[in-house]
Amino acid sequence: MSAAAGRPPAPLDVLTFGETMLAAQLPGTLAVGAQARTTVAGAESNVAIGLARLGHRAGWAGLVGDDEPGRLVLRTLRGEGVDTTHAGTHPAAPTGAMLREQRVADLVRVHYWRSRSAASLLTPADIAPALGDGARVLHLTGITCALGPGPLETVRAAAAHAHGRGWTVTLDVNHRNRLWTAEEAGRALRPLLPHLTVLIASDDELPVVTDAFTDTADGEQRAVEALLDTGVREVVVKRGSQGAAFRDRHGARHSVDALRVPVRDTVGAGDAFCAGYLSGLLDGLPPTGRLARANTLGAFAVASDGDWEGLPRRDELGLLAAAPGTAIR
């Protein structure tokens, strides 16, 4: 046996966990005979796929049901290069599901079936093995916290574990009004703030995790300063078509404009943005470089169908610089 064969595996670049679901995507409204495209989707696994496509070692440690949708989820993630060594299967609870309708123009309506799903029963014990193997970055989202008391406890335990061992801990607020109110989300997420290295939020999500209101001229600035005062090292604000901004505890401020692309599907753009930012962080890029890569992946997402299917490989990061209608031969 070689020396390498006896060594434990190298820690992942990024570890994440949450709910990945069976997804049916309709080109129009739900109707008898409507043709749906079957895929899988989940905020954390979308990020993991985006990172894996860029050559990073990304792992997903969520729970799926012992059913065909669960097997599809795991096959898809493995096929995209995501490490699922510590993904679990619940023997009794099902894999969650979602239905997405292209209602009109680029307006999308999403329906979920996740009550008592396998992911909603996640506990700290389920991800302990993955945490034990280590990672450079732990990526969390507010969606997992909203699934139930077990997932919330799991996120809190994971954040404390990672912070205590010096990992980079990132949180995408990712607030969903249909899962919980802003007040409920705030009570759940604010205890995480002292453990965070990077907090990512859209401009309208900042009030969820602060007492500041962002509808005034200096509201966003006060919200960001409040977050930095809790110990968060970096705050990244997503502004959609207006680009993104960065602030850190040392007073650095940066902003980068969004790329202009035809919009086909906005679902998954925030996850793509997170994957791009984390990729830049792992590659040691400066803040403006991280924001630019985040905006690039977000642009790939909105210009493609599906949550993650159009995300780029590393050698494709420059494709959007080509003139519209270019044929690359």
Q: What angle do CA 61, 62, 65 make, to 5 degrees?
A: 135
Q: Would you state the structure tokens that stand for residue 249, as one six-digit string?
A: 């505890």
Active-site entry in 172, 203, 271, 307: 271
Helix, strand, coil shares of the chain, percent, nearest 5, are 40, 20, 40
271 is catalytic: yes
**Alpha-carbon span 272 to 286, nearest angstrom:** 19
Q: Would you state the structure tokens that stand for residue 255, as one six-digit string?
A: 């902003």
**Alpha-carbon span 43 to 173, nearest angstrom:** 11
Residue 327's CB: how many other CB atoms inside 10 A? 5
Number of alpha carbons in the 13 Å side-chain half-sphere of residue 1:
5
CB 40 within 8 A of CB 23: yes
Sequence-ordered strand ranges (E) for the chain: 12-16, 21-26, 37-41, 58-60, 63-65, 88-90, 97-104, 107-113, 135-141, 168-172, 198-202, 234-238, 244-248, 253-256
Q: How far is CA 86 from CA 60, 90, 100, 203, 220, in A?
A: 7, 13, 29, 34, 39
Alpha-carbon dihedral sign for residues 205, 210, 211, 214: negative
**Alpha-carbon span 258 to 296, nearest angstrom:** 8
Catalytic center residues: 271
